[in-house]
Amino acid sequence: MDISATVQPWISQPFTVAISLVALTGTYVYYTSSRSLRSPPGPKALPVIGNIHQLPMEFQEKAFHEWGKVYGDVIYTKIFRKSMIVLNSLEAARDLMEKRSGNYSSRPTFVLMCELLGWDTLTLMPYGNRSRKMRKWIQDTFQKKEALASYHHVQLREVSRVLARLVVNPAEFSTHFTTFSASMLMEVTYGHRVTSDDDFFVRVADRAIEETAKGGGMGSRLVDFFPILKHYPMWLPGSNFRRKVAETRQLVQSMINAPYDMVKQRLESGAWPSMIGHLVEQHLHDGKISAEDEADIRGAGATIYSAGTETTATVMCIFILVMVRQPDIYTKLQAEMDKFVGFERLPDLEDRVSLPYLNAVIKELYRWQPPLPLGLPHMVSNNDEYRGYHIPGQAMLMSNIWAMSQDESFYPNPEEFNPERYLDPDTPSAKVELMNPENIVFGFGRRACPGKEFADTGIYLMVAHIVATMSIGKAKDANGQEITPPAEFDGGISRRPTPFKCVILPRSSKAVDLIRQLELAH
């Protein structure tokens, strides 16, 4: 007889009970201790509505910044029944979203954007296997040195086309910048070359993004806080919201599906070099692709376009606005360009290390008006403790990038556009790294923008070539008086300047010749 078989149950039973008691005790201690911790400070909330009545419809980052002066850099607030933590400092953002990224990398549920409008993109996706899969695809496309180097000719070609359009139609500079960023991303992602400002795929995508923004943006509609409203009957009064959502959803689906379908169709005739073309070929089995893989590939493509186009164009429009308002900065830029590059050629990537003032201007563009002042919301996956405060699981976490960009300990007189702040040789190296706005505007942790280097390179090339070839000045009114455009910006998710007038002209006939040579070379 096997004695162990008889004895084992009697040994294992009390052992199992003991382990269970330890686990339950640990859970109880953790739960009660976390509940005993107080929440971070914040404005007093009202029953049911929370703090929603204290938030403006636009420029909420400024309201959070003002709250920070009273409550500190970590603020607790409630939007209806939803807990929200606002981080107003780089230190807090790094402590949570980078050092504890495993708990702070998910996204809240966006009922309007995802369920109703159909934005099935990595940008809005909860953290998990699917998001890691799509992020790896995008990282392979936009972070490998070999891949980035292969895109330089595309970027330079699109730069040359913007310069040519500025010579012919400078008043439409905002449209040209949107086409510039859209063209680069469309070609790398789908292999489609945009040849006009009225390109079909660009037009569909722009309409989808524009109508989505009009719909209130992420998390700003009541349906995100009361999901039952998504079932509101179309025939009842007040259902205009549902009808508008249905119309916008068609645009969103066209944006996601049309370029993907174009790639698949062209693949039937042979290879189609692009990120999406490569992924489709990689996942084809017996001439078919699974529904799951197809949805992921579509979403990856839409992620790149929707996330990258608006931000790059916004930074370029801010550049023009600042140069019109502060011509002394533009004069210094051109003096540096003329000294290190000269008049016989146009700048290239290799010239960047020789243009410190231009690099400082780009940094200040990122800082002065961050293109996404509140970034994109994260979600806290599980209860946590930070600085003795209880951080509740499932809370929305907002990184107030604009407030970080206004930190006077790093940026004295932050309201001023001042590139010289990055050029002080006496600044300690540790502070130089901390005050680099590139560490803020591209996001944090596992949700940081995977296309950061591609976007930054495109902005550098565009700024450098405009400096080398164009004069920028103020427009004049009917009385011949110069018009200084106000520093006013849209109050939506992104921070593009409100439309303004200016004068953009070629610096010389030699500059026009160089632009033509660049076009022919690419």
Token pair of 360 as six digits: 């400082």
Q: Which residue has the higher pLDDT, 371 or 234?
A: 371
Closest among 338, 332, 400 to 372, alpha carbons compared: 400
User: Percentage of residues in the chain with pLDDT exceeding 70?
Assistant: 92
Token pair of 130 as six digits: 């699917």
Distances (CA, A) of 516 to 11, 34, 156, 318, 472: 86, 66, 12, 26, 20
User: pLDDT grade, residue 292 (50/70/90)?
Assistant: very high
* 8 pLDDT above the threshold of 70: no
* 95 pLDDT above the threshold of 90: yes
Token pair of 214 as six digits: 């009009």
| Sequential DSSP letters for 285-345 | BTTB--HHHHHHHHHHHHHHHHHHHHHHHHHHHHHHHHHHH-HHHHHHHHHHHHHHT-SSS
- Round to whole Å and give the CA distance between 440 and 401: 6
Q: Are 348 and 460 in contact (CB under 8 A)?
A: no
Q: Which residue has the higher pLDDT, 143 or 323?
A: 323
State the pLDDT at residue 22. 43
Indicate the helix (H) or strand (E) that contains 159.
helix 152-168
State the pLDDT at residue 463. 98
- Round to whole Å and give the CA distance between 236 and 378: 34
Q: Across 28-32, 106-110, 415-419, which has the greatest mean pLDDT?
A: 415-419
* 355 pLDDT above the threshold of 60: yes
Q: Give residues with Cβ within 8 angstroms of 345, minimum separation 6.
A: 514
Strands (E), 454-511: 470-474, 502-506
The DSSP code for 271 is -
State the pLDDT at residue 494. 84
- 216-243 mean pLDDT: 72
User: pLDDT grade, residue 36 (50/70/90)?
Assistant: low
Backbone angles phi, psi at 288, to 5 degrees: -130, 160
Query: Around Cβ 308, how many Cβ atoms within 10 Å?
Result: 22
- Round to whole Å and give the CA distance between 86 and 375: 11
- Round to whole Å and give the CA distance between 193 and 202: 11
- 219-228 mean pLDDT: 73
* 61 pLDDT above the threshold of 70: yes
State the pLDDT at residue 243. 83
User: pLDDT grade, residue 215 (50/70/90)?
Assistant: low
Closest among 325, 432, 414 to 370, alpha carbons compared: 414
Distances (CA, A) of 67 to 62, 76, 207: 9, 10, 35
Q: Which of 53-62, 80-89, 333-342, 345-354 has the lowest mean pLDDT?
A: 53-62
* 324 pLDDT above the threshold of 90: yes
User: pLDDT grade, residue 217 (50/70/90)?
Assistant: very low
Q: Is 449 annotated as a binding residue?
A: yes
* Number of alpha carbons in the 13 Å side-chain half-sphere of residue 314: 24
* 29 pLDDT above the threshold of 70: no
- CA angle 436/437/440 to nearest 5° reads 115
* 20 pLDDT above the threshold of 50: no
State the pLDDT at residue 254. 95
User: Percentage of residues in the chain with pLDDT exceeding 90?
Assistant: 74
3-state secondary structure of 43: coil
Q: Are 300 and 279 in contact (CB under 8 A)?
A: yes
* 9 pLDDT above the threshold of 50: no
State the pLDDT at residue 26. 46
- Round to whole Å and give the CA distance between 23 and 3: 31
- Round to whole Å and give the CA distance between 376 and 444: 10
Closest among 169, 179, 184 to 202, alpha carbons compared: 179
- CA angle 276/282/285 to nearest 5° reads 120
Closest among 254, 256, 260, 417 to 326, alpha carbons compared: 417
State the pLDDT at residue 21. 43
- Round to whole Å and give the CA distance between 140 and 76: 37
- pTM (2 decimals)? 0.89
User: pLDDT grade, residue 25 (50/70/90)?
Assistant: very low
Which amino acid is located at 369 in the chain? Q
Token pair of 495 as six digits: 């921070």
- CA angle 301/307/312 to nearest 5° reads 120
User: pLDDT grade, residue 7 (50/70/90)?
Assistant: very low
- Terminal CA-CA length for the chain: 86
Q: Are 97 and 397 in contact (CB under 8 A)?
A: yes
pLDDT digits (tens, 9 = 90+) for 176-191: 999 999 999 999 999 9
Backbone angles phi, psi at 212, to 5 degrees: -65, -45
Average pLDDT, the chain: 89
- Round to whole Å and give the CA distance between 360 and 362: 5
Q: Give residues with Cβ within 8 angstroms of 196, minimum separation 6.
A: none
Backbone angles phi, psi at 79, to 5 degrees: -110, 105
- 482-508 mean pLDDT: 93
Q: Which of 6-15, 24-33, 196-205, 211-220 has the lowest mean pLDDT?
A: 6-15
User: pLDDT grade, residue 28 (50/70/90)?
Assistant: very low
Closest among 125, 110, 64, 78 to 401, alpha carbons compared: 64
Q: Across 303-307, 372-376, 379-383, 516-520, which has the greatest mean pLDDT?
A: 379-383
| Domains of the chain: residue spans and CATH | 37-521 (1.10.630.10)
Q: What pairs with residue 83 in β-bridges?
A: 78
